[in-house]
A and B are shown apart, each in its own frame.
Chain A
Amino acid sequence: MSFDQNAFLIILTGSLIAISCGLLGVFMMLRKMAMTGDAISHAVLPGIVIGFFVAGSQRGLEVIIGAGILGIIATLIIDWLRKKARVQLDASIGITFTLLFAIGIILINLFAYNVDLDQECVLYGEIAYLPIDLWVTGSGTILGPRITYLAVLNFTLVAGFIYFFFKELTLTSFDESFGSVMGIPSKGINLALMSMVSYTTVSSFEAVGAILVVALLVVPPATAFLWTKNLMPLIKLTTILGIGISILGYYLAYLFDSSIAGMMVTVAGVLFLLSALIKGRSSKSAGTSMANI
Chain B
Amino acid sequence: MDNFVYFFTFQDLSILYVVIGIILLGIGSAYVGTYSFLDKKALLGDAISHAVLPGICLGFILAGEKNPVYIVTGAFISGGIATFLTSWLKKNTKLSEDAIIASILSVFFGFGIVLLTVIQKSGNPEMAGLNHFIFGNAIAILEEDLWIYGGLAVIIILSLTIFQKEFSLLVFNSDYGKAIGYPMEIIRFAFNVLMILSVVIGIQAIGVVLMAALLITPGAAARFWTDNLSKLLLLAALFAVVSGIAGTYISFVLPQMPTGPWVVVSLSFIALISFLFAPKKGTITRYFSRNQYLKKTNNEHLLKALYKNRELGQRMLTIENIYELYPYQKKEIKHSIEFLFKEGLILKNQNFISLTDYGIHEAKRVVRLHRLWETYLTEYMNIAPDHVHDSAEKLEHIITPELEAQLEKRLNFPQLDPHQENIPRD
Pick from A87, A98, A124: contact of B268, CB under 8 Å: A98
Determine whether A109 belongs to the interface, using a CB cutoff of 8 Å to chain B. yes
Which of A59-67, A143-151, A267-275 lies at the interface with chain B?
A267-275
Are A222 and B99 also in contact (CB < 8 A) when A98-B216, A263-B114, A276-B93 are?
A: yes
Pick from A102, A262, A292: contact of B213, CB under 8 Å: A102
Question: Please, which residue of chain B has its CB at the minimum distance from the CB of A84?
Answer: B283
Provide the bound-state CA to CA distance between A281 and B93, in Å.
6
Interface flags for B80-95 (1: CB within 8 Å of A; 0: not) read 0000010011101111
Provide the bound-state CA to CA distance between A122 and B219, in Å.
31
What is the size, in residues, of chain A's interface with B at 8 Å between Cβ atoms? Answer: 69
Interface flags for B153-188 (1: CB within 8 Å of A; 0: not) read 000000000000000000000000000000000000
Determine whether B292 belongs to the interface, using a CB cutoff of 8 Å to chain A. no
Is B96 a contact partner of A258 (Cβ separation < 8 A)? Answer: no
Is A35 a contact partner of B110 (Cβ separation < 8 A)? Answer: no
A interface SS class: helix
Determine whether B334 belongs to the interface, using a CB cutoff of 8 Å to chain A. no
Are A98 and B217 also in contact (CB < 8 A) when A262-B113, A265-B110 are?
A: yes
Provide the bound-state CA to CA distance between A264 and B107, in Å.
10
Min CB gap B161→A, angstroms: 23
Interface residues in B349-369 by Cβ distance below 8 A to A read: none
Is A102 a contact partner of B261 (Cβ separation < 8 A)? Answer: yes
Are A35 and B111 also in contact (CB < 8 A) when A98-B264, A225-B94 are?
A: no
Is A293 a contact partner of B97 (Cβ separation < 8 A)? Answer: yes
List residues of chain A with CB within 8 A of the CB of B409. none
Most buried by B among A257, A265, A268: A265
Min CB gap B407→A, angstroms: 31
Most buried by B among A112, A284, A285, A293: A293
Interface residues in A205-226 by Cβ distance below 8 A to B read: 209, 211-212, 214-215, 217-219, 221-222, 225-226
Is B106 a contact partner of A29 (Cβ separation < 8 A)? Answer: no
Determine whether A34 belongs to the interface, using a CB cutoff of 8 Å to chain B. yes
Is A215 a contact partner of B106 (Cβ separation < 8 A)? Answer: yes
Is B92 a contact partner of A284 (Cβ separation < 8 A)? Answer: yes
Is A273 a contact partner of B109 (Cβ separation < 8 A)? Answer: no
Are A292 and B209 also in contact (CB < 8 A) when A88-B40, A93-B43 are?
A: no
Is B257 a contact partner of A106 (Cβ separation < 8 A)? Answer: yes
Most buried by A among B41, B85, B89, B96: B96
Interface flags for B93-130 (1: CB within 8 Å of A; 0: not) read 11111111111011111111111111001000000000
Provide the bound-state CA to CA distance between A221 and B217, in Å.
30
Is A219 a contact partner of B256 (Cβ separation < 8 A)? Answer: no
Determine whether A164 belongs to the interface, using a CB cutoff of 8 Å to chain B. no
Question: Please, which residue of chain B has its CB at the minimum distance from the CB of A107?
Answer: B261
Interface residues in A100-156 by Cβ distance below 8 A to B read: 101-103, 105-106, 109, 112, 123-124
Interface residues in A11-52 by Cβ distance below 8 A to B read: 29, 32-35, 37-38, 42
List residues of chain B with CB within 8 A of the CB of A102. 210, 213, 260-262, 264-265, 268
Is A293 a contact partner of B43 (Cβ separation < 8 A)? Answer: yes
Pick from B93, B209, B210, B220: contact of A226, CB under 8 Å: B93
Is A215 a contact partner of B98 (Cβ separation < 8 A)? Answer: no
List residues of chain B with CB within 8 A of the CB of A268. 107, 110
Is A215 a contact partner of B109 (Cβ separation < 8 A)? Answer: yes
Pick from B40, B114, B268: contact of A95, CB under 8 Å: B268
Which of the four size classes fits the interface of chain B? 35 or more
Most buried by A among B43, B101, B217, B271: B43
Are A222 and B103 also in contact (CB < 8 A) when A102-B262, A256-B114, A257-B118 are?
A: yes
Min CB gap B124→A, angstroms: 14
Interface flags for A65-85 (1: CB within 8 Å of B; 0: not) read 000000000000000010011
List residues of chain A with CB within 8 A of the CB of B220. 87-88, 91, 94-95
Are A281 and B113 also in contact (CB < 8 A) when A34-B101, A105-B261, A109-B256 are?
A: no
Determine whether B376 belongs to the interface, using a CB cutoff of 8 Å to chain A. no
Interface flags for B191-210 (1: CB within 8 Å of A; 0: not) read 00000000000000000011
Is B94 a contact partner of A98 (Cβ separation < 8 A)? Answer: no
Question: Please, which residue of chain B has its CB at the minimum distance from the CB of A110?
Answer: B257
List residues of chain A with CB within 8 A of the CB of B111. 262, 265-266, 269
Question: Please, which residue of chain B has its CB at the minimum distance from the CB of A38?
Answer: B102
Question: Please, which residue of chain B has its CB at the minimum distance from the CB of A208?
Answer: B110
Min CB gap A248→B, angstroms: 13
Is A291 a contact partner of B90 (Cβ separation < 8 A)? Answer: yes
Are A218 and B264 also in contact (CB < 8 A) when A35-B43, A259-B113, A272-B107 are?
A: no
Determine whether A261 belongs to the interface, using a CB cutoff of 8 Å to chain B. yes
Is B93 a contact partner of A259 (Cβ separation < 8 A)? Answer: no
Determine whether B46 belongs to the interface, using a CB cutoff of 8 Å to chain A. yes
Determine whether A99 belongs to the interface, using a CB cutoff of 8 Å to chain B. yes
Pick from A214, A261, A276: contact of B92, CB under 8 Å: A276
Interface flags for B383-425 (1: CB within 8 Å of A; 0: not) read 0000000000000000000000000000000000000000000
Binding site for B on A (CB under 8 A): 29, 32-35, 37-38, 42, 81, 84-88, 90-91, 93-95, 98-99, 101-103, 105-106, 109, 112, 123-124, 209, 211-212, 214-215, 217-219, 221-222, 225-226, 253, 256-259, 261-266, 268-269, 272-273, 276, 279-281, 283-285, 289-293
Interchain Cβ contacts under 8 Å between A and B, 14 examples: A85-B275, A90-B216, A95-B268, A95-B271, A98-B213, A98-B216, A98-B268, A225-B94, A256-B118, A258-B115, A269-B111, A289-B96, A291-B90, A291-B95
Known contacts A109-B257, A273-B85; can you find 11 more A-B pairs with CB under 8 A? A38-B106, A81-B275, A88-B40, A95-B220, A101-B210, A105-B258, A106-B265, A215-B110, A225-B99, A259-B116, A266-B110
